[in-house]
Amino acid sequence: MTEIRTDTRLSSQEEITARVKALEALLIEKGVMTTAAVDRLAEVYENEVGPQLGAKVVAKAWTDPAFKERLLADASAACRELGIGGLQGEEMVVVENTDTVHHVIVCTLCSCYPWPVLGLPPNWYKAPPFRARIVREPRTVLAEDFGFPVPDAVEIRVWDSSSELRYWVLPQRPAGSENLSEEELAALVTRDSMIGVGAPLPVGSAG
């Protein structure tokens, strides 16, 4: 675990996007992949493996105390109970946000990320400015770059993922959601809330 703080976001998103598109074009040109294969891969991670699976796990934990206990004890095993797992999800650790502690996830060396529950990592997660600054001044980065101020009274803990362990966050359940079903709760869970740079949607805002 690393614990520290941070300040601005990236200016390299466009550069990263351009590199990805160039690599994609090169792979297609060399016959390594087809356009259909690239589209199918994107579809899998957008619709079959992605944040909606993590949201399903979070909603289950919010409504089932026994499952939540198992999730916090062994995240990979608990996710397998719901049929969720695979490459990049062999060793996952879930950390729980509370009224007094807020968790943020980063990978300072590269971009290790729990793909089975969160899908593809966003560009900003892979960008060096985010990776460097979130561990130096997290409170500033969350407020200024993500519009997510964390009260001074709340401790911020930054967890550094690696190829051995991939962390993700169990966010706090939104107020007023006591009567919602698991499906309705899952619709409130955002990718950013499971990384720790945002919060779940408020009740009534999911469409």
Catalytic residue among 110, 162, 163, 181: 110
Catalytic residue among 76, 79, 112, 161: 112
> What whole-number distance in Å separates Cα of residue 111 and Cα of residue 175?
32
Q: Tell me the whole-structure pTM to 2 decimals.
A: 0.78
Tokens matching residue 133: 């600054």
Lowest mean pLDDT among 4-8, 112-116, 123-127, 169-173: 4-8
CATH (residue range 52-195): 3.90.330.10
Q: Which amino acid is at 130?
A: F
Encode pLDDT of 97-116 as tens digits: 999 999 999 999 888 999 88
Higher pLDDT, 64 or 6: 64
Catalytic residue among 11, 76, 79, 111: 111
Higher pLDDT, 206 or 203: 203
Q: Is 79 a residue of the active site?
A: no
Looking at residue 153, its pLDDT comes to 97
User: Quick one: average pLDDT of 42-52?
Assistant: 64
Q: Which residue has the tokens 């074009």?
A: 25
Q: Give the Cβ contact number of residue 160 at 10 Å.
A: 19
Q: Is 112 a residue of the active site?
A: yes
Encode pLDDT of 145-183 as tens digits: 999 999 999 999 999 999 889 999 999 999 999 999 999
